[in-house]
Amino acid sequence: MRKKILVVDDNADTRDLTHLHLTNEEFTVITAADGQEGLYMAGAEFPDLIITVIAMAGLDGLEMVRQLRSQPEHKHVPILVLTALGTEDMDQAIRAGANRAMSKPVLLDALTDEVKELLAEAR
């Protein structure tokens, strides 16, 4: 059974590229354009893994992670945070509840490796 990944990114081009790449890697991919939509999609779709960026208008990625971690059904879902803002944001992401954080720009193969590793750890 294909694993379901939720990609939350306010940049449509990046979101679409990530969607295409992970779909080609045999994952089922759903997307959201901001943190609020990400929360909704997580509740409606119950993804096996969530990838989000931090910087988004409205509800940012850090607050989305905090809210997801406060919900019993999402407490153990692996979350990968992507940021272009450096190690301080990566540390904040981990403190907020993310399993891992990566610096942008992300090489797609490295992203795939990270996704597979997180999913394997979650079993």
| Token pair listed for 47 | 């993804």
What Rg do the C-alpha atoms of the chain give, in angstroms?
Answer: 13
User: Which residues, listed in sequence order, are joined to residue 112 by a DSSP beta bridge?
Assistant: none
Would you tell me how many other CB atoms lie within 10 Å of the CB of residue 91?
A: 11
Cβ pair 78, 51 in contact under 8 A: no
Would you tell me how many other CB atoms lie within 10 Å of the CB of residue 118?
A: 20
Q: What is the CATH code of the structural domain delimited by 4-122?
A: 3.40.50.2300
Share of the chain above pLDDT 90, in %: 85
Prediction pTM value? 0.96
Sketch the domain layout of the chain as residue ranges.
Answer: 4-122
* Cα 35 to Cα 121: distance, rounded to the nearest angstrom: 25
pLDDT for 123 equals: 74
Region for 112 from its dihedrals, namely left if φ exceeds 0, alpha if ψ lies in -120 to 50, beta otherwise: alpha
Give the mean model confidence (pLDDT) for residues 13-17: 95
Cβ pair 55, 61 in contact under 8 A: yes
Tens digits of residue pLDDT in 67-107: 999 999 999 999 999 988 777 889 999 999 999 999 988 99
pLDDT for 84 equals: 84
pLDDT grade, residue 109 (50/70/90)?
A: very high
